[in-house]
Homo-oligomer: A and B are copies of this chain.
Amino acid sequence: MKKALAIDVGGTKIYNAIIDEKGEIISEVEKHSTPKTFEEIKATFKLIIKKYESEVDVIAFSTCGAVNNQNTGIVGSTGNIAKEYPTLDFQSLSTKPVFVENDANCAAWAEYKIGASKDTTVSVMITLGTGVGGGIIINGHLLKGQNGAAGEMHFKMRSDKHRKCTCGSYDCFEIYTSGTGLKLTAEEMTGNKDITTYDVVEGAQKSDSKMLEILDRWHDDLANGIIGLANLFDPDCVVLSGSMAEFVDTKKVEDEVNSQIVTTPTRIVKAQAGNFSGMIGAALLALEVRHG
């Protein structure tokens, strides 16, 4: 069976594992802190690759940042990682084929191949973490756009420049529905600058009415955004992943969405491919593209 060395690159952690063409992790998962400098990041990649490349058919990167349509490198800039990182020539790291895809796209692909959106025609994955990522699959293809940057969950929830988004613009879906967004909503609704997402979630579990109200508002924001996505894509399902997904009442959001869309009913489901879905998706894509 064909195998990939999968490497997941985030702003704080780098993971690696060997994954087979069924999407099974067949080695230990190794974890490294993401180094500060570009040279150290490259050195970390080279160390990982040198150790495992002889055992695999392809190297598969799941990375922060938008990735070009050739799956060879990064388009534009990335957030919280060494600023030269987007210039990396990934193929130079190995004599084996090197494949690169955006982490949210990889995670969406894992859900499509072995997880919550298996056998769908159109699926939209939304990763709710500190930020919000997106991966959209249409008729068996990732939506990449003209240059590979598609699937960004930065569409506006209001038009009055109320809340500045991490992207530099205002009032994007991300800055309302991410963990950061929930905290900002909680700050606005309580006047308490020190409130955390944990306070909200724990308070809501204890039936604190204010915390329930804040969590309801967050659900409304999620539903309002998904209504737009459902009307644009008419998806079979919307998959929610990421650390914040566990706090979503999917039934409530699904009912709200389906009561307001003009397209056909959709399902709101939680991700099933696990914490390493980025690496799994990267491996499955790489093995399909490079050896399909």
Contacts and interface: CB of A to CB of B under 8 A. Distances in A.
A62 B5 CA distance: 49
A12 interface: no
Interface stretch (A19-27, A53-61, A143-151, A272-280): A143-151
Interface in A105-163: 120-122, 134, 136, 138-139, 141, 143-160
B155 A158 contact: no
A220 B159 contact: yes
Contact of A154 (B150, B169, B220, B227): B227
Given A75-B264, A263-B145, A232 B151 contact: yes
A157 B158 contact: yes
A232 B153 CA distance: 6
Interface stretch (A39-47, A200-208, A233-241, A247-255): A233-241
Contact of A224 (B156, B228, B234): B156
Interface in A205-233: 220-221, 224-225, 227-229, 231-233
Interface string A177-208: 00000000000000000000000000000000
A167 B221 contact: no
Interface size class of A (residues with CB under 8 A): 35 or more
Contacts of A292: none
Interface of A: 66, 75-76, 120-122, 134, 136, 138-139, 141, 143-160, 167-169, 172, 220-221, 224-225, 227-229, 231-236, 260-264, 266
29 contacts: A120-B146, A121-B145, A121-B146, A122-B145, A134-B232, A144-B234, A145-B234, A145-B235, A145-B264, A146-B234, A146-B264, A147-B264, A149-B263, A149-B264, A150-B232, A150-B233, A153-B232, A154-B262, A155-B229, A155-B232, A156-B225, A157-B158, A158-B160, A159-B220, A167-B260, A168-B262, A172-B231, A229-B232, A232-B232
